[in-house]
């Protein structure tokens, strides 16, 4: 009997064949999520992405997209088709008069900096990490810090996507119901091929790092939130806390019960002025060069959101929890602020927000700690970052998201057969 090579359905479906792997293990940046999809496909253009979705629909396979893999939740996991968007990358257009920028869905946040700057533009805000894909950042409500600045999702003004019918469709500002669903959708409406963002005029930032005691942090709480473009801090409970996030601290000084505080404000610089200003111990540079920093060592993070007016109370509740029950947990608590928006599944829907982030060390049993943080913040009506560890359920979503039913209706219209669902998203939004 003569042996024959197994037939590969993807190889025989497309001409020329789309780059793909079969049964290739995948894991995220943090190392806490993994999957072995039947097919990992890397489309090089819109047609290849469309062909992949149509193949999956025909074969009855689910589809999930992956960007940089910076989520800590099972958003990407699938046994079907994993679509790697890394080849669908690049800025596709800018409009300086309207302050708009378009980019392919797999474009890394870091790719916007130089490209927009050369056109006199910039992103209004960024977070500590700029490696995520823009479609992943939009899908999960990724953000920076600033009480007058929204998350990436709130800047979405138009999107071109592949829906669950195997069609390429567009959503714009004349379709607010659909746009507000698309702004934070966890990848459940379809594959984002191209997006348009509201951006701003380019600007420089100056960074100021300080190390106040907790009493000093509290004494300027309202002033710091209101009077800085960006304000955030890491509260350190132990001597080793700052080092776990690679935060530089003054030599010989204890960081116990102190904050590593960051203030960013716009400044005017000469054309060649940038880098480190040693006299003020502060970086002064183009905005996109100042925002990111550190965070090269993997960690596993939970991030919850409470109404800004209850922020200090919630932070001190978690401080007490750490001191009295979980003194073994040494990662610092990060605290930030985000402006409210109108996206149906946004953690910032209709409320200005205080952000509380805690982490567990990879390889340790941090689950009792994270569950206790979840329980302690439930009385604050805490919402969760969709890309970080959380304990949200469908019942909790009904309480926390007033427009959940509207989102679910839009999702069913775009993907009635659940092509873009996996076990995680089906439990929440199926």
Residue-wise pLDDT tens digits, 184-239: 999 999 999 999 999 999 999 999 999 999 999 999 999 999 999 999 999 999 99
Mean pLDDT of 104-111: 97
Length of the chain equals 430
CA distances from 4 to 1, 17, 20, 25, 39 (A): 10, 20, 21, 25, 21
Given a cut of 50, whether residue 280 has pLDDT beyond it is no
With beta carbons less than 8 A apart as the criterion, state whether 121 and 101 touch.
yes
Computed on alpha carbons and rounded to an integer, the radius of gyration of the chain in Å comes to: 22
- Residue 4, pLDDT score: 36
Looking at residue 108, the DSSP 8-state letter turns out to be B
Query: Residue for token digits 């790719």?
Result: 111
Looking at the predicted structure, is the pLDDT value of residue 313 above 50?
Answer: yes
Burial class, 372, CB count within 10 angstroms (exposed 0-12 / middle 13-18 / buried 19+): middle
Higher pLDDT, 70 or 158: 158
Calculate the CA dihedral of residues 317, 318, 320, 325 and round it to 10 degrees.
Answer: 130
The mean pLDDT of the chain is 93
Domains of the chain: 9-84 (3.30.43.10), 91-201 (3.30.465.10)
């Amino acid at each position: 009997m003569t042996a024959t090579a197994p037939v590969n359905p993807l190889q025989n479906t497309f001409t020329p064949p789309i780059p793909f792997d079969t049964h290739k293990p995948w894991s995220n940046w943090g190392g806490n999520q993994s999957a072995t999809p039947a097919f990992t496909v890397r489309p090089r253009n819109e047609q290849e992405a469309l062909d992949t979705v149509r193949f999956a629909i025909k074969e009855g396979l689910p589809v999930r997209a992956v960007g940089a893999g910076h989520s800590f939740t099972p958003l990407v996991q699938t046994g079907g088709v994993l679509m790697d968007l890394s080849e669908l990358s690049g800025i596709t257009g800018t409009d300086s008069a309207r302050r708009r920028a378009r980019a392919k869905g797999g474009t890394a946040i870091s790719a916007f900096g130089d490209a927009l700057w050369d056109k006199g533009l910039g992103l209004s805000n960024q977070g500590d990490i700029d490696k995520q894909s823009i479609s992943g950042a939009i899908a999960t409500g990724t953000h920076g810090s600033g009480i007058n600045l929204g998350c990436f999702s709130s800047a979405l003004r138009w999107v071109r996507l592949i829906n669950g019918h195997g069609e390429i469709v567009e959503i714009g500002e004349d379709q607010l119901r659909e746009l507000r669903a698309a702004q934070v959708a966890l990848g459940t409406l379809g594959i984002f091929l191209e997006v348009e963002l509201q951006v701003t005029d380019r600007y420089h930032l100056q960074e100021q790092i300080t190390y106040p005691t907790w009493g000093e942090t509290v004494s300027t709480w309202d002033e710091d939130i209101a009077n800085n473009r960006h304000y955030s801090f890491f509260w350190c409970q132990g001597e080793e806390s700052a080092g776990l996030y690679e935060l530089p601290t003054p030599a010989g000084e204890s960081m116990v019960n102190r904050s590593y505080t960051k203030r960013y404000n716009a400044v005017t610089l000469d054309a060649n002025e940038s880098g480190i200003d040693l006299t003020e111990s502060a970086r002064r540079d183009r905005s996109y060069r100042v925002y990111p920093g550190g965070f090269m060592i993997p960690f596993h993070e939970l991030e919850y959101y409470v109404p800004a007016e209850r922020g200090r109370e919630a932070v001190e509740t978690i401080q007490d929890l750490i001191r009295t029950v979980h003194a073994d947990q040494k990662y610092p608590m990060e605290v930030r602020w985000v402006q409210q928006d109108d996206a149906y599944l946004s953690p910032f829907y209709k409320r200005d927000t205080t952000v509380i982030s805690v982490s567990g060390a990879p390889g340790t049993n941090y689950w009792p700690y994270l569950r206790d943080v979840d329980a302690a913040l439930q009385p604050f009506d805490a919402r969760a970052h969709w890309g970080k560890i959380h304990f949200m359920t469908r019942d909790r979503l009904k309480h926390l998201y007033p427009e959940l039913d509207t989102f679910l209706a839009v999702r069913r219209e775009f993907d009635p057969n659940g092509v873009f669902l996996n076990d995680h998203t089906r439990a929440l939004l199926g």
